[in-house]
A and B are shown apart, each in its own frame.
Chain A
Amino acid sequence: MSGVRVLVGTRKGAFILTSDGKRKEWTVSRPLWGGWEIYHLKGSPVDPNRLYASQSTGWFGQLVQRSDDGGATWNPVSNEFAYDGVPGTHQWYDGTPHPWEFARVWHLEPSLSDPDTVLAGVEDAALFRSTDGGTSWHELSGLRGHGSGPFWQPGAGGMCLHTIIVSPTDPNRIVVAISSAGAFRSDDGGVTWKPINKGLHSEGIPDGDAEVGHCVHHVTMHPSRPDVLFMQKHWDVMRSDNAGDSWVEVSGNLPTDFGFTMDVHAHEPDTVYVVPITSDSEHYPPEGKLRVYRSRTGGNEWEPLTKGLPQANCYVDVLRDAMAVDSLDDCGVYFGTTGGQVYASNNAGDSWEPIVRDLPAVLSVEVQTLA
């Protein structure tokens, strides 16, 4: 019987939420690595028993954990993320050159074809790859070295590489996004890179249309249409129909076009979800109403999804990696909040129920659809 496994990273540990295909009754695991920040967990698309997790604290640094049995047991693998060659510098907050310094892994992206191959997006922004199940990591240094790297500057959340998308039709095509540098693409398996930020406009930088310097919060894609990308930027929801070569704004009738997370329906490539957030500084939903907005037209026309979500006195945030979809029919949609709730919809967003209400602040949500 089909089922789902929801992998939740929080400020104080990880949790695994499981259900059958009906997605009505849930089991919530005990905390894994209680007290540690779990920025991200994700399973291999080709081996659902193979999971990777990023575990860190300010005290003990970074660990990467791997499970080969669907999360029942875990073992640490290599945490040695050494920048390739002389790391060089990026810009510091005061404009001075600052040496690249590893802080943590924000995102782990297992390969679409090989359980032992996984990409890691790290802070200070760089992309690493392991081809041996995390036993060793090697930087794809063409990203930092393509030319604009010395001009990247951290945002308030640190200079993190938080989004990694590998094309399902062309494994050499990789799109990444960095806060607050922008989006970048490689068409040769990560050897060479170019910025893909044409069409983005940001008011908080001196040249609003600059090649780099845009605060991209998240990028997502439907696997059947890898050239169509959707982006939630610091402000503006954007769409590209040419793999990032150019972007157009599709914020349309959203109540605010600020937000962090977004995702695409598993079976409808033009159905997109965002969670609008008031900002620059509030970082909670407008009017205290937690609303997911859904577009069935690939952007511009958005409808609020509110059934089952708090519509008063709600002041949580939904972070960039904290939304995911399953591939059952109807499509399940899941998101976690900084208030510790994980909400699930088993009908593509028409209605929502909390799986769990009182976890630590949720940093990431991923879903595995199990046969």
Chain B
Amino acid sequence: MIRVVLPAHLKTLAGVNREIELDLTGVPTQKAVIDALEARFPALRGTIRDPVTQRRRKFIRFFACEEDLSHESPDAPLPDAVVAGTEPYFIVGAMAGG
């Protein structure tokens, strides 16, 4: 079970107000997390990654276990603590804009 924390605007879009718990099938990767999120919450499609290019949006970051995973391959395995559910996977709207 993967615990996912969304930024406020995406929580509103998804209609949730707390952590999301996802059960993934197959190898747990960042791509698998986003795929599962978009499948469960269609309103989030295209908000985390471009719906056509699949590239991460430039002001979206992925954090876990006090590490920035934003530049990791989408297909890289998630940290063990995230897979075990002891640490959440953070999807973060970057502080930007002055």
Residues of A within 8 A of B (CB): 35-36, 57-63, 75-76, 79-82, 102
Contact = CB atoms under 8 A, between A and B. Distances in A.
Given A59-B94, A60-B10, A102-B52, A79 B46 contact: yes
Interface string B16-59: 00000000000000000000000000110111101110000111
A75 B51 CA distance: 18
B65 interface: no
A14 B85 CA distance: 38
A288 B47 CA distance: 41
Interface residues of B, number: 21
B51 to A, nearest CB: 4
B6 to A, nearest CB: 11
Contacts, number: 48
Interface of B: 7, 9-10, 13, 42-43, 45-48, 50-52, 57-60, 93-94, 96-97
A80 B50 CA distance: 8
Given A35-B9, A63-B46, A80 B51 contact: yes
Interface of chain B: mostly helix, strand, loop or mixed: loop
A61 B9 contact: no
Nearest to B47: A60
B52 A76 contact: no
Contacts of B93: 59-60
A115 B10 CA distance: 28
B13 A76 contact: yes
A195 B51 CA distance: 31
Given A80-B52, A81-B52, A62 B46 contact: yes
B4 to A, nearest CB: 15
